[in-house]
Amino acid sequence: MKNRFKLVVAVLLLAVAALACGLPAIPGLNGPLLDENFDGFSQTWGTGTDEQSSVEYTDGGLRFIVNETLFYVWSNPNDEDYANVHIEVTAKNNSSDPNTAFGIMCNQGVPDSNMYYFAITANGEYAIAKGAVGVDDVFLTNDDLWGESELIAKNADSYRIGADCGDGTLTLYVDGQKIDSVQDSSYSSGMVALFAWSHEVENGTDVTFDDFVVTKLPTP
């Protein structure tokens, strides 16, 4: 299932102006750096639909549909540069392909699109990896292969995925359980994103994300 990325999703950026009637909360000072429940009011995430894939706000979530096989699609909420953060999201997996992978990206750069990503499947597989356009991805866990964990429920209706991206330490959590952790300091900061990755079943990938939160990791 390890393949080079084929990435197609335009990033939609939205500048939000403060209303003159009151001062907004400063992100990260009084709470999360980013807190998104996909209720449709903000709609800052990159969306779009073509023959290969679709990312759209649907029924209170951000839904990823991938029609093409071995195809990877991501969406960013903004172009902010985040460093030393914890990210969480709920993923509802409605894919007919049991090998569909989905999860979180962090420290994504522009224009080279280097990134770390934290992927799981409904088969109980996982990977913490780094990638960059034009080179093969490197799985930092399990000797550059997909790993399996009994802590990842098979064929669950939803998964709460967490990721630590900070100070050279990358940690994956699923449903509150630590799955694995690795050390890598190639990328120190960047954008955050969500993704879905199809395997070998056409029209087989369908994942909806909800309750996305980014918080600052505590300083050691």
Give the pLDDT of residue 117. 97
Please state whether the peptide bond connecting residue 32 to the residue before it is cis, i.e. omega within 30 degrees of 0.
no
The CA–CA distances, whole Å, from 38 to 62, 106, 122 equal: 6, 19, 23
DSSP code at position 149:
-
| Average pLDDT value for residue range 109-120 | 87
Q: Are the beta carbons of 173 and 163 closer than 8 angstroms?
A: yes
Residues 6+ apart with CB under 8 A from 152: 120, 124, 125, 126, 159, 174, 175, 179
Give the pLDDT of residue 140. 97
CA–CA dist 116, 175 (Å, integer): 20
Q: What is the pTM of this model?
A: 0.86
Topology (CATH level 3) of domain 34-216: Jelly Rolls (2.60.120)
Instruction: Please say if the pLDDT value at position 98 is more than 80.
Output: yes
> 10: which 2 tokens?
């335009």
Instruction: Please say if the pLDDT value at position 75 is more than 80.
Output: yes
> 80: which 2 tokens?
């902010």
DSSP code at position 15:
-
pLDDT in tens, 41-74: 678 899 999 999 999 999 899 999 999 999 989 9
- The residue among 149, 143, 145 whose CA lies nearest residue 178 is 149
Q: Are the beta carbons of 9 and 73 closer than 8 angstroms?
A: yes
pLDDT in tens, 2-45: 443 333 333 322 222 222 222 233 344 457 999 999 986 678 89
Percent of the chain with pLDDT over 70: 84
pLDDT in tens, 140-186: 999 999 999 999 999 999 999 999 999 899 999 999 999 999 999 99
